[in-house]
Amino acid sequence: MANPVLPSSGVLSPLGLDAVRLSPGFWGDRVALNREVTIAHCQEWEEREGWIGNFRGERPRRGREFSDSEIYKLLEAMAWADHPGLPALAEIVAGAQEGDGYLNTRWSGSRYTDLEWGHELYCYGHLIQAGVARLRTHGEDTLTRVAVRAADHVCRRFMEGTQTCGHPVIEMALVELYRVTGTERYLEMARRFVERRGLPALADIPFGRAYYQDDLPVRQAQVFRGHVVRALYLASGVVDVAVETGDEELLKAVEAQWERTVARRTHLTGGMGSRHADESFGEDYELPPDRAYNETCASIASVMLSHRLLLATGDVRYADLAERTLHNMLATGVALDGRSFFYANPLQVRVPAVPLDGVNHAPEGGLRSPWFDVSCCPNNIARTLASLPAYVATATADGIQIHHPTPAEIRHGELAVKVETGYPWDGAVTVRALTGGRGRIALRVPAWAAGARLTHRGEVREVAPGYAVADGPWRTGDELRLELPMAPRWTFPDRRVDALRGSAAVERGPLVYCAESVADEPPLGDLAARVAPPVEHHVDGVVELEVAASLGGGESSGWPYGHEPDGRPSGADAGLRLVPYHRWGNRGPATMRVWLPVG
Ligand SMILES: [Zn+2]
């Protein structure tokens, strides 16, 4: 089963890359572009920056202390994509492994002298995930042997004692290696890493121990906090440990943390991480649009966590958040040509970014960059898109569940179906039986889709958010048709989100929309939109929207405060074009805003 996550128990079983094949469409096109362009792009940059050369022993060593992990993420992407470049790259990595399994191009010679910041176990985590991907798509080879030797080394070195790594990911990697090999010490090592956190296991640092989730034991925490990627990778590993050890209390703890975080610390796009400082969560309802950090990797980590919780519980709200995050964060993180990437994903950009030669331009968001000094996001996108088919559908003993509608062929047991849809532009989803067979087919109906209709055997019925289900038996050619209402929706923030008061945003289907202004288009700093039904424009297969808004002339009164509430800007209403947030920034430097002042 070609899956990044394959729990031994849970309400839903994931269907892997061998069971779900994407066809051309919103996600199929992105997965194909990733395989054909982005993977090679990442490898070229890792070679150019010397990060691959580090494994060949080239000196001086180049890159940050965690750069090894980028090569491992790339190897994982290559494994899922069955990329021909994998064996040669794996040989280079293997050449740097020491006799006892230790492998790190930065810390060799001074092993484990800085667990807080060294990222050695973090790097192993990504290596092991790459190894698992290869075992599940190909079988044993150089890469898998390197990964297993590293995991064995970790177990020998860390099974006893109180230590762990400043950056989680080893936890979920070890559980997955346990799942694929059956070797129980990997699960036990992961369990111990989870339980050690917060005792505490790491030194205090100026950022505070919450930065790396070492302030509290996992079971006692109420909400995700600190560095977002760390928090969500840890939580993913905790779910894996809880599922494999049957620890209901531990699973419930993460569910409660997820719930509170989604309710109070998540942006409309699904992005998590309000603060540039420490790349961290803010306090409850601290959700500024312009200063939102929302690292692309954090959104990937959020999808990984929600997917695990969905598998464990079958609760549809986890798939709802994953859909929001995939369409508005993952799809935003990479340019339409597959060659540049966002690191931060604010919901408002006030000044167009200035393009620079070379790497790392506008890491704070505003312009995608071909590479970064810290290039976690491009490689994370590559491995996630390469394994994306594994997130689309699941199975139970009585049938299949399609969580993310996108053109695909899905096979499980007796059932083989073809999914046809223009989603997310169009709300019609048709599932056609390719063979006869028994089994129930369930299609997710998102929380926003009140009034959805399901057509089955000529009968039309309204279906509530959750899952629309239809039972077989199916004959070849039988159809099931779901129609999701795609009228644009105005969305208003909770009154406690101070930074958004007086604003509203527009969504359509799973997509969040934004106003974007390039070159000589009107600036977006002073406007007020009318809350009225937006007009749809179909442009080259993309749905854009238009709302009425008055634009101000940018005049200043000399003091930005007064003794009466401020009114609307002076300009007459005009059409303000909105584009899907995931498409913004593809036309050059621009200003952008998701939240529009209304009134
Ligand atoms: Zn990143």
How close is the Cα of 413 to the center of ligand 1, in Å? 38
How close is the Cα of 374 to the center of ligand 1, in Å? 7
Q: In this structure, are strands 511-518 and 503-508 parallel, antiparallel, or unpaired?
A: antiparallel
Residue 479 has pLDDT above 90, yes or no: yes
How close is the Cα of 441 to the center of ligand 1, in Å? 36
Nearest-CA neighbor of 394 among 336, 290, 314, 472? 314
How close is the Cα of 122 to the center of ligand 1, in Å? 14
How close is the Cα of 478 to the center of ligand 1, in Å? 44
Q: Average pLDDT in the 142-161 region?
A: 98
In tens, the pLDDT along 430-472 reads 999 999 999 999 999 999 999 999 999 999 999 999 999 999 9
Q: Which residues contact 555 (CB under 8 A, 6 or more apart)?
A: none
How close is the Cα of 370 to the center of ligand 1, in Å? 13
What is the per-residue pLDDT for 170?
Answer: 98
How close is the Cα of 490 to the center of ligand 1, in Å? 31
Residue 413 contacts residue 396 (beta carbons within 8 Å):
no
Residue 196 has pLDDT above 90, yes or no: yes
How close is the Cα of 34 to the center of ligand 1, in Å? 17
Q: Average pLDDT in the 273-287 region?
A: 96
**Two tokens at 154?**
């970790």
How close is the Cα of 512 to the center of ligand 1, in Å? 22
How close is the Cα of 436 to the center of ligand 1, in Å? 45
What is the per-residue pLDDT for 47?
Answer: 98
pLDDT band at 1 (very low <50, low <70, confident <90, very high): confident
pLDDT band at 309 (very low <50, low <70, confident <90, very high): very high
Q: Is 253 exposed, middle or buried (0-12, 13-18, 19+ CB in 10 A)?
A: buried
How close is the Cα of 279 to the center of ligand 1, in Å? 10
DSSP string, 300-318: HHHHHHHHHHHHHH--HHH
How close is the Cα of 365 to the center of ligand 1, in Å? 12
Place of tokens 């200003």: 591
How close is the Cα of 548 to the center of ligand 1, in Å? 36
Nearest-CA neighbor of 333 among 263, 269, 280, 425? 269
Nearest-CA neighbor of 212 among 328, 109, 92, 118? 118
How close is the Cα of 378 to the center of ligand 1, in Å? 7
Nearest-CA neighbor of 250 among 293, 201, 303, 309? 309
Q: How many helices (H) and strands (E) does the chain have?
A: 14, 22
How close is the Cα of 303 to the center of ligand 1, in Å? 14
DSSP string, 247-261: -HHHHHHHHHHHHHH
Residue 28 contacts residue 407 (beta carbons within 8 Å):
yes
Q: What distance lies between CA 117 and its chain's CA centroid?
A: 24
- The number of beta carbons lying within 10 Å of the beta carbon of residue 119 is 25
How close is the Cα of 300 to the center of ligand 1, in Å? 9
DSSP string, 393-459: EEEETTEEEE-S--SEEEEETTEEEEEEE-TTTS-EEEEEESS-B--EEEEEE-TT-TTEEEEETTE
How close is the Cα of 131 to the center of ligand 1, in Å? 21
- The number of beta carbons lying within 10 Å of the beta carbon of residue 25 is 19
How close is the Cα of 561 to the center of ligand 1, in Å? 38
Q: What share of the chain is helix, strand, coil (3-state, %, to 5)?
A: 35, 20, 45
Q: Which residues pair with 396 in a beta bridge?
A: 399
In tens, the pLDDT along 566-587 reads 888 888 899 999 999 999 999 9
**Angle ∠(326,328,330) on CA atoms, nearest 5:** 45
How far apart (Å, rounded) are the C-alpha atoms in residues 57 and 94?
12
How close is the Cα of 570 to the center of ligand 1, in Å? 42
How close is the Cα of 528 to the center of ligand 1, in Å? 34
How close is the Cα of 372 to the center of ligand 1, in Å? 9
What is the per-residue pLDDT for 554?
Answer: 72
Q: In this structure, are strands 466-471 and 542-551 parallel, antiparallel, or unpaired?
A: unpaired
How close is the Cα of 297 to the center of ligand 1, in Å? 4
Average pLDDT over the chain reads 96
Residue 22 has pLDDT above 90, yes or no: yes
Residue 115 contacts residue 166 (beta carbons within 8 Å):
yes
Tell me how far CA of residue 593 lies from CA of 85, 291, 433, 587, in angstroms: 40, 12, 43, 15
How close is the Cα of 514 to the center of ligand 1, in Å? 23
**Angle ∠(65,175,442) on CA atoms, nearest 5:** 115
What is the per-residue pLDDT for 362?
Answer: 58
How close is the Cα of 81 to the center of ligand 1, in Å? 21
In tens, the pLDDT along 197-213 reads 999 999 999 999 999 99
Residue 299 contacts residue 376 (beta carbons within 8 Å):
no
Instruction: Print burial letters for 584-594: b (CB count within 10 Å at least 16), e (below 16).
Output: bbeeebbbbbb
Residue 282 has pLDDT above 60, yes or no: yes
Q: What is the DSSP letter of 357?
A: S
In tens, the pLDDT along 480-535 reads 999 999 999 999 999 999 999 999 999 999 999 999 999 888 889 999 999 999 99
Its sign, for the CA torsion 334, 335, 341, 343, is negative
In tens, the pLDDT along 328-365 reads 999 999 999 999 999 999 999 998 888 776 555 556 77
How close is the Cα of 342 to the center of ligand 1, in Å? 9
Instruction: Print burial letters for 525-539: b (CB count within 10 Å at least 16), e (below 16).
Output: ebbbbeeeebeeeee
How close is the Cα of 165 to the center of ligand 1, in Å? 18
How close is the Cα of 506 to the center of ligand 1, in Å? 27
Q: Where are the beta strands (DSSP E) in 129-231?
A: none
pLDDT band at 555 (very low <50, low <70, confident <90, very high): confident
How far apart (Å, rounded) are the C-alpha atoms in residues 91 and 273?
37
How close is the Cα of 299 to the center of ligand 1, in Å? 9
